[in-house]
Amino acid sequence: MKLNGRLICSLPGVVALMEPGHSDGQTKIVRDGTHVYCYSWSAANREWVKVGDVMGASGGTQATSGKQLHNGKVESKAVKGMISKCS
């Protein structure tokens, strides 16, 4: 199975979350079976916090993605797994 041209099986597994983050807000994309999730490092709690499911990328521009963008990012309070948000 692929996600934006990348094989899901090539993504790191959840074991990658055993390694602490380097800075607050750092993000990681990991797979759990055939599901892909985005996690953000919380320096205050020293833990990875699940942000949401990764579904794919926006098209990069409002015209190509059909989504409302702000500074090149999807404008939304709930991150719906935009791979551009979790790189």
d(CA 22, CA 10): 22
pLDDT digits (tens, 9 = 90+) for 8-25: 888 899 999 999 999 999
Question: In this structure, are residues 74 and 67 in contact, taking their beta carbons and an 8 Å threshold?
Answer: yes
Q: Where are the beta strands (DSSP E) in the chain?
A: 2-3, 6-7, 27-32, 35-42, 47-53, 69-70, 73-74
pLDDT digits (tens, 9 = 90+) for 18-44: 999 999 999 999 999 888 999 999 999
Domain residue ranges in the chain:
2-74
d(CA 82, CA 74): 8
Query: Between 63 and 4, whose confidence is greater?
Result: 4
